[in-house]
Amino acid sequence: MASSAEEAARALREIAEINARAAGFQDYQAESGQMVLWGFAYIIGFALTGLFTDYILLVWTLIIIIALIAGSSIARRTNPDIPGIAWRYLALIGSILLLCVLINIVMWPLTPRQGAMLAPLFVATLYILRGVQLRPRYLVIGVLLAVLSMVGYLWLDAWFWWWMAFAFGGTLAISGLWLRNF
């Protein structure tokens, strides 16, 4: 009798493990579209900032508004069974944006490069935290985003905007495509 109880317990553990892995894959696929979207938003935003540094506020305001509209649409499409997903999405991204704005106000004056590092480092931190808790691929993405951002900030002053466009934005977009395949 003991062996069948042990077998049943082992089978239940295996089922729980399979469920957890399936949930992880679903999470990666649901998140992948957002990562690609925001990766391209960062590519365009940093590239335009490199070209038109005097218009940094206008560039990022337009990029963020467009990305918020597209992102809430993606959230509704990938999670149609979650009521109010668009509002939750907007609240989450809005809180990140609000934090960045408030840090700019509290720490004023910041250089444009310093201000531009707030969101990338915060996003990298969120992926690291999420990876430590649940999904190891997010940990890899978060560490890579943080390291690449700091390399650009510390050592690539003349190429900073272009580096951030392709290193941060490109890594985010490629990571989204990588997660889509799981």
What's the pLDDT tens digit per position in 160-181? 999 999 999 999 999 999 888 7
pLDDT of residue 126: 92
Q: Is 157 or 79 the better-scoring residue by pLDDT?
A: 157
pLDDT of residue 22: 46
- CA torsion sign for 63, 57, 147, 125 is negative
Summarize the confidence of residues 114-118 as an average pLDDT.
92
Q: Say if residues 75 and 34 touch (Cβ distance below 8 Å).
A: yes
Query: Does the pTM of the predicted model rise above 0.75?
Result: yes
Rounded to an integer, what distance in angstroms lies between the CA atom of residue 77 and that of residue 116?
30
Tell me the two tokens of residue 131. Answer: 């990876």
Tell me the two tokens of residue 176. Answer: 């989204």
- CA torsion sign for 90, 93, 98, 99 is positive
Summarize the confidence of residues 96-100 as an average pLDDT.
89
pLDDT single digits (tens) 137-148: 889 999 999 999
All structural domains of the chain with their residue ranges: 11-180
pLDDT of residue 89: 86
pLDDT single digits (tens) 60-76: 999 999 999 999 999 88
pLDDT single digits (tens) 5-47: 777 667 556 655 655 554 444 555 678 889 999 999 999 999 9
| Res. 119 pLDDT band, cuts 50 70 90 | very high
pLDDT of residue 68: 93
Summarize the confidence of residues 98-103 as an average pLDDT.
90
pLDDT of residue 60: 94
